[in-house]
Chains A and B, each alone.
Chain A
Amino acid sequence: DSGVTQTPKHLITATGQRVTLRCSPRSGDLSVYWYQQSLDQGLQFLIQYYNGEERAKGNILERFSAQQFPDLHSELNLSSLELGDSALYFCASSVNDGPTLHEQFFGPGTRLTVL
């Protein structure tokens, strides 16, 4: 158990809908990262937050957004869903994001299926 929790574990929805994925980082970790893992594109970094502020952006679509709350949990919002958004979404956390990256601890993932 990494200490990172993600809910829900599975999510099935229809095209055009909007969903929210939730992540609670390990106790004491200030950085939260979101990743998308699909069979055809591998592991894609989406976005990082550090202590409530956006720190780095990867291949995140405009239909997707995220935020980190004062209690450090984070939510990833996916809207106008398309079939191609079906994937495993991982959250990871780390202590900081300084010059030397400490280990990222991954949650178990949320499997999103868009029908």
Chain B
Amino acid sequence: GDSVTQMEGPVTLSEEAFLTINCTYTATGYPSLFWYVQYPGEGLQLLLKATKADDKGSNKGFEATYRKETTSFHLEKGSVQVSDSAVYFCALYNAGNNRKLIWGLGTSLAVNP
């Protein structure tokens, strides 16, 4: 079945460092891919998404490119801030697979000043 694999955390960075959180997936067909973020004490919120191969999603300085050849959707940010400290979830939606989001386990990011 469909699945999402994220790099394990926690990830700890200094402010202004470069961030990469790896996400790879297994799916049939052409799924849509998402990154959600969960700030401390809050619910999840959509960070960015891509619905077809080679699409690049971007928001708040974060980017991720839908790479079908490597089945990846890695999250990147050039310069992280303390306010980016959160848990990041990669997710996949495949309309042919019972129409539910498949979630990664989440990667915790802590950014130190």
Binding site for B on A (CB under 8 A): 2, 4, 33, 42-43, 45, 48, 55-58, 90, 92, 97-101, 103-109
Name A107's contact: one of B43, B95, B98, B105 (CB within 8 Å). B43
CA distance A90 to B100 in the complex (A): 15
B103 near A42: Cβ-Cβ < 8 Å: yes
Max count, chain A CB within 10 A of own CB: residue among B49, B98, B105, B106? B98
A100 near B32: Cβ-Cβ < 8 Å: yes
Contact A101-B43, Cβ < 8 Å, known A42-B106, A43-B89, A43-B106? no
Name B45's contact: one of A2, A55, A57, A97 (CB within 8 Å). A2
B60 contacts the other chain (CB 8 A): no
Min C-beta distance of B28 to chain A, whole Å:
15
Q: How large is the interface on B (under 10, 10 to 19, 20 to 34, 35 or more residues)?
A: 10 to 19
CA distance A112 to B61 in the complex (A): 35
Binding site for A on B (CB under 8 A): 32, 42-46, 49, 51, 89, 93, 95, 98-101, 103, 105-106
A101 near B44: Cβ-Cβ < 8 Å: no
Return chain A residues, CB-CB under 8 Å to B95. 98-101
The count of A-to-B residue pairs whose CB atoms sit within 8 angstroms is 52
A106 near B105: Cβ-Cβ < 8 Å: no
A90 near B32: Cβ-Cβ < 8 Å: no
Contact A48-B100, Cβ < 8 Å, known A42-B106, A43-B106, A101-B32? yes
Return chain B residues, CB-CB under 8 Å to A42. 103, 105-106
Contact A106-B45, Cβ < 8 Å, known A42-B106, A56-B100, A101-B101? yes
Name B42's contact: one of A58, A104, A108 (CB within 8 Å). A108
A-B complex: 9 closest residue pairs judged by Cβ atoms: A106-B43, A101-B93, A42-B105, A99-B95, A106-B44, A56-B100, A103-B46, A43-B103, A56-B98
Q: Closest chain B residue to A88 by CB distance?
A: B43
A103 near B49: Cβ-Cβ < 8 Å: yes
Return chain A residues, CB-CB under 8 Å to B100. 45, 48, 56, 58
Listed by A's residue number, 28 A-B pairs whose Cβ atoms lie within 8 Å are: A2-B43, A2-B45, A33-B101, A42-B103, A43-B44, A45-B100, A45-B101, A45-B103, A48-B99, A55-B99, A57-B98, A58-B100, A90-B43, A92-B43, A92-B44, A97-B99, A100-B32, A101-B32, A101-B101, A103-B46, A103-B49, A104-B44, A104-B46, A105-B45, A105-B46, A106-B43, A106-B44, A106-B45
